[in-house]
Amino acid sequence: QRAAVNLSQKIQNRFAKSAGRGNIVEDKSSIGKTSRWFHVAGLWEPEIPVNSPNLIATVVLAAMILAALVVYLPQPTKKDLRVGVRDDELKIEGGNVVDTEPIDLAFEGLTLELETKSGEVRTILDGVRGRAQPGRMLAVMGPSGAGKSTLIHALVGRVKDNTKLSLYGRRYINGEPVSGDSLLPAAFIEQDVNFFPHMTVRETLHFRVELKLGSLLSKHARDKMVDGLMDQLGLTKAADTVVGDAKVRGISGGERKRLSIAVEMISSPSVIVLDEPTSGLDSTAATSLVQTLRDLADSGKTVIAVIHQPSQHVFAKFDDLLLVSEGKLMYYGELHGVRSYMESYGHPATAEMGTAEHILDCISRLPIEEETKDEMNSRMERLIYKANSNPLDLGKMATDDNGTTEFTMVSRGGPKAGIITQFRTLFKRSFREVIRGKTTLILKTVQQISLGVIYGGIYSLGTNQASIQDRFGLLSLIAIGSANMAVASTIRSFPREKAIVSNEIASKMYRTLPYFIGKALSELPLVAVFNGIFGTIVYHLTGLSRMKGKFRRFLGLLTTHGLASEAVGLVIGAVSPSSDVALAIFPAVLVLNIIFDGKNISEENTPRLLRWIPKIGLIRWGFEGLCVNEFDQLTFDTKGPRRGPVAKFGSEALDRFGLGTNTLGDIVKAQLSITVVSWALSYIGLTLTGQKYLKMQSFKSDSD
């Protein structure tokens, strides 16, 4: 008995010490107003001499200002355009975008080298040349891995920046050389274009038209343009169907391809470059899509498309052909001449064999019929030699300076739409996505209700001493559970959205800031609703305190906690290149947050270097807020079952974990600070991780 009394005394002493510790740092009156704010946000620690948290705040603010300056200050125009080719300044006449000037695109010496892990250099493209002209369609064909996709990315200036890659070559537009860092003003349609799945075809086009042409067109003219584009690309039937994705049933594969062309056609670009537009389509859909491209070419556009195993119908719609194999040019010329060309080099096709199939056989390093290995190699060498030595007119203009002066294509200015239109349009899109994801909405509702019922079925809080432990346990689980859910759902969806958004920002449709504000605000109502559902059930079933105002404050605190958690999810998503990376980072972030949630490790025993973590801890502030709200003014029976020392008042119970030194106001401010700083970090992350492209250096031989 004596030992038990001693132990109890020891524990009480320890708690008393812990309660005292809660007051050690707390002479807030001596801290100025601003410092107090930092203190609340966990960014100020008066008694730590090296003020690292404060340093973090300063660095974050400085980085934000720098990022804002980089993004918002007018970018200098590199060099004026010397020829009639325009940048992305659009001209509008009679409510329509005036067709941009036809573009004749020629290229030579396109070479891409990759430094492999062993230090060797692998040549992915090897001096490819060719020409694409207005009113004509150029097909790029070759075996798998030949370099077709790389070639068209290089042509438009979109080979992703990578220190292991070196890109060489020269491009000419209407005979004049363009600089290596020029992004061609071309519609570039990748193989898989991502769209927001819950928007209809019409809404997707409206969104783009509004942001791309902004105030240049009236509402009526914008509607007319959207109808015109749908008509031109055969999308009228699907106008009011949602676009969909792998999970959401939407328009067909062919219609998706058409939509990706339609969104690029808004600014009526002169060049249309497509990476395998027919892949995944049946032969009727493929033929009909290529006919649409044919119509565009006939209207004066320059069309370049990588095609894979085309049917004879599809193949015959092209005018010119560029064949590559192992990164080397195998043929460039008119399409109708290729069969006889191969025949003239000793590779006749049987009558029943399709031309496309035959030429792929001719340019693949695989034996044709009885061919020996040497014969196969000599066939390849002969074709490579001929393709590269045949004279080719690139339409180069004679210039005084031997064509060495390049002109740079730059996109002048920022988005066409004003900042308010950008914000309004982006908010509308985000909100629509949030509320139209019916399956997600239903699942989340069921999830919140069942969680509330589970907690309600387990916990039954009274006012005895044991209920103190139950209260702490329940509130801790609520804080952990709702943070986990909010962060996880944000990082699952955001990286995919980021891919779309980064492209849209890169094409100067809008700025990062209005996107962020629109996204954050659009999610707020749903955070409040779901927390409301869960909070109402759990609050009433478990028997949390019914004192006046506490339930309302409980819901408010859950909402600010949810908001802060979503913001943290956004940072993880913004700095991660993919969902997989984000999901890999997430457990570590969550575990750290749980460890330092305020009750799992005491402040005294926290390694000194890690003491800043609880100050910015998501769960710590959520847990503390819920506890302060619940225990405030609560009294407990001093008899009956108990865990640890007796606490008559709620404040004594709070003291056990060193809680209760911050007011609810302080806690909400801390949660809002976490939210704002997380938004700022995500904004910086998104701005700094924007896509960069490799600059094309002049010919390989020049630089060797």
Ligand X SMILES: Nc1ncnc2c1ncn2[C@@H]1O[C@H](COP(=O)(O)OP(=O)(O)OP(=O)(O)O)[C@@H](O)[C@H]1O
- Nearer Cβ to ligand X (308/615): 308
Q: Give the Cα-Cα-Cα angle 141, 146, 147 (nearest 5 degrees).
A: 90
Stretch in the footprint of ligand X (CB under 6 A) among 145-153, 225-233, 312-320, 669-677: 145-153
157 lies in the binding site for ligand X (CB under 6 A): no
Q: Which stretch binds ligand X (CB under 6 A): 138-146, 179-187, 513-521, 655-663?
A: 138-146
Q: Considering beta carbons, is residue 96 or 123 the nearer one to ligand X?
A: 123
* Least distance to ligand X, CB of residue 184, Å: 18
Residues with Cβ within 8 Å of 280's Cβ and at least 6 positions away in sequence, in order, are 253
In terms of DSSP H, where are the helices of 181-336? 201-213, 219-232, 253-265, 283-298, 312-316
Residue closer to ligand X, measured from CB, 114 or 517: 114
Residue recorded with tokens 């077709």: 148
Shortest approach of ligand X to residue 314 CB, angstroms?
Answer: 16
Residues 443-482 within binding reach of ligand X (CB under 6 A): none
Contacting residue, 22, 53, 142, 452, with ligand X by CB under 6 A:
142
Of 34 and 163, nearer to ligand X (C-beta) is 163
The Cα–Cα gap between 669 and 37 comes to 8
The Cα 611–Cα 48 span in angstroms is 10
Q: Smallest gap, in angstroms, from Cβ of residue 147 to ligand X?
A: 4
How is 630-668 classified by DSSP, letter by letter?
A: HHTT-B--SSSS-SSS---BHHHHHHTTT-SSS-HHHHH
Q: Can you tell me the distance from the alpha carbon of 527 to that of 572, in angstroms, rounded to the nearest whole number?
A: 19
Whichever of 275 and 597 has its CB closer to ligand X, that residue is: 275
Q: In this chain, which of 145, 346, 413, 473 binds ligand X, going by CB under 6 A?
A: 145
How are beta strands 186-189 and 176-178 bridged, if at all?
unpaired
At closest approach, how far in Å is the CB of 152 from ligand X?
8
- Closest CB to ligand X among residues 58, 116: 116
First to last CA, the chain: 90
Q: Which residues, 268 to 307, sit near ligand X by CB under 6 A?
A: none
SS3 at position 496: helix
Residue nearest to ligand X (CB): 149
The smaller minimum CB distance to ligand X, of residues 118 and 439, is found at 118
Question: Which helix (H) or strand (E) element contains residue 536?
Answer: helix 512-542
Contact between 633 and ligand X per CB under 6 A: no
Please count the residues of this chain forming the interface with ligand X, following the rule CB under 6 A.
13
Q: Does residue number 116 form part of the binding site for ligand X (CB under 6 A)?
A: no
Nearer to ligand X, 295 or 357 (CB): 357
Instruction: Identify whether the C-beta of residue 138 lies closer than 8 Å to the C-beta of residue 130.
Output: yes
Residue 114 is a binding residue for ligand X (CB under 6 A): yes
- 167 vs 618, which CB is nearer to ligand X? 167
**C-beta closer to ligand X: residue 52 or 162:** 162
The Cα–Cα gap between 128 and 151 comes to: 8
For the chain, give the number of residues. 704
* From candidates 42, 147, 415, 437, binder to ligand X by CB under 6 A: 147
Q: Which is nearer to ligand X, 125 or 509 (CB)?
A: 125
Under rule CB under 6 A, residue 529 binds ligand X: no
Strand ranges in 32-104 using DSSP code E only, listed in sequence order: 92-93, 96-97
CA separation for the pair 512, 500 (Å, rounded): 12
Q: What angle do CA 469, 451, 443 make, to 5 degrees?
A: 160
With contact defined as beta carbons under 8 Å apart, do 64 and 685 qualify? Answer: no
Neighbours of 91 (CB within 10 A): 12
Q: Are 60 and 673 in contact (CB under 8 A)?
A: no
Q: DSSP letter string over 112-171? A: EEEE-TTS-EEEEEEEEEEEE-TT-EEEEE-STTSSHHHHHHHHHT-PBP-TTEEEEEEE
CA 117 to chain centre: 29
Q: x-or-dash pattern for ligand X, window 489-508, by CB under 6 A? A: --------------------
Among residues 31, 64, 165, 541, which is the contact residue for ligand X, using CB under 6 A?
Answer: 165
C-beta closer to ligand X: residue 149 or 698: 149
Residues 304-323 as x/- pattern, contact with ligand X by CB under 6 A: ----x---------------
Vertex 458 angle, CA 454 and 460, to 5°: 125
Alpha helices in 390-511 (DSSP H): 419-436, 438-458, 466-506
Binding mask 654-693 for ligand X (x = CB under 6 A): ----------------------------------------
Task: For the CB of residue 144, give the shortest distance to ligand X in the complex, in Å.
Answer: 4
Cβ proximity to ligand X, 124 vs 305, nearer residue: 124
Q: What string marks each residue from 42 to 81 as x (binds ligand X by CB under 6 A) or -?
A: ----------------------------------------
Long-range CB contacts (within 8 A, 24+) of 160-163: 160/691, 160/692, 160/693, 160/694, 161/692, 161/693, 161/694, 162/694
Residue of 269, 277, 104 lying closest to 189 (CA atoms): 277
Considering the rule CB under 6 A, would residue 148 count as an interface residue with ligand X?
Answer: yes
Instruction: Give min distance, CB of 336 to ligand X, in A.
Output: 24
Query: Smaller CB distance to ligand X: residue 60 or 114?
Result: 114
Verify binding: residue 190, ligand X, rule CB under 6 A: no
The answer to the question of residue 695 lying near ligand X (CB under 6 A) is no
Q: For residue 141, which of 266, 320, 408 has the smallest C-alpha distance?
A: 320
Considering only 110, 124, 238, 434, the residue that binds ligand X (CB under 6 A) is 124
DSSP at 63: H
Contact between 193 and ligand X by CB under 6 A: the answer reads: no
Q: Which is nearer to ligand X, 323 or 572 (CB)?
A: 323
The correct pick among 1, 29, 118, 144 for binding ligand X (CB under 6 A) is 144
Q: Which residues contact 345 (CB under 8 A, 6 or more apart)?
A: 379, 382, 383, 386
Q: Which of 40, 67, 97, 146 binds ligand X (CB under 6 A)?
A: 146
290/667 with CB nearer ligand X = 290
- 25 binds ligand X, rule: CB under 6 A: no
Q: Which of 162, 218, 312, 701 binds ligand X (CB under 6 A)?
A: 162
- Tell me how far, at minimum, the Cβ of 201 lies from ligand X, in Å: 27
The CA distance from 206 to 428, in Å, is 12
Kindly indicate which of the ranges 144-152, 525-533, 539-547, 616-624 contains the residues binding ligand X, using the contact rule CB under 6 A.
Answer: 144-152
Question: Whole-angstrom Cα distance, residue 393 to residue 401?
Answer: 19
Stretch that binds ligand X, among 141-149, 252-260, 419-427, 442-450 (CB under 6 A): 141-149
Query: Interface with ligand X includes 149 (CB under 6 A)?
Result: yes
Interaction of residue 150 with ligand X, rule CB under 6 A: yes
Residues lying near ligand X in the complex (CB under 6 A): 114, 124, 142, 144-150, 162, 165, 308
